[in-house]
Homo-oligomer: A and B are copies of this chain.
Amino acid sequence: MPASSPASSVSSSSRQSAPHVAIVGATGAVGEEFLRVLKQRNFPIGKLTLLASARSAGKTLKFGDDEITCEELTEDSFKGVDLALFSAGGSISKKLGPAAVDAGAVVVDNSSAFRMTQGVPLVVPEVNPGAIAEANIGLGSDNVAGIIANPNCSTIIMLVAINPLHQAVPVKRMIVSTYQAASGAGAAAMRELEQQTREALEGEVTTKDIFPFQYAFNLFSHNSPMQPNGYNQEELKMVHETHKILGQVEDADKMAVSATCIRVPVMRAHAESINLTFDGTMTEDQARDLIAAAPGVSLIDDRDNNRFPTPLDAQHQDDCYVGRIRRDLSQPEGVGLDLFVCGDQVRKGAALNAVQIAELLVK
Contact = CB atoms under 8 A, between A and B. Distances in A.
Given A303-B226, A312-B214, A265 B266 contact: yes
Given A179-B219, A223-B306, A271-B262, A325 B230 contact: yes
A344 B44 CA distance: 54
Interface stretch (A8-16, A30-38, A84-92, A326-334): A326-334
Identify which of A197, A223, A267 gathers the most chain B CB atoms within 10 Å of its CB: A197
Contacts of A323: 221
A194 B303 CA distance: 28
Interface stretch (A51-59, A169-177, A244-252): A169-177
A212 B308 CA distance: 12
A239 B331 CA distance: 13
Interface residues of A, number: 58
A293 interface: no
A154 interface: no
B303 A230 contact: yes
Given A201-B197, A226-B303, A308 B220 contact: yes
5 contacts: A177-B260, A198-B201, A230-B325, A230-B326, A260-B340
Interface of A: 173-175, 177, 179, 193-194, 197-198, 201, 212-214, 217-221, 223, 225-226, 229-232, 239, 256-258, 260, 262, 264-267, 271, 273, 275, 284, 303-304, 306, 308, 310-312, 323-331, 336, 338, 340
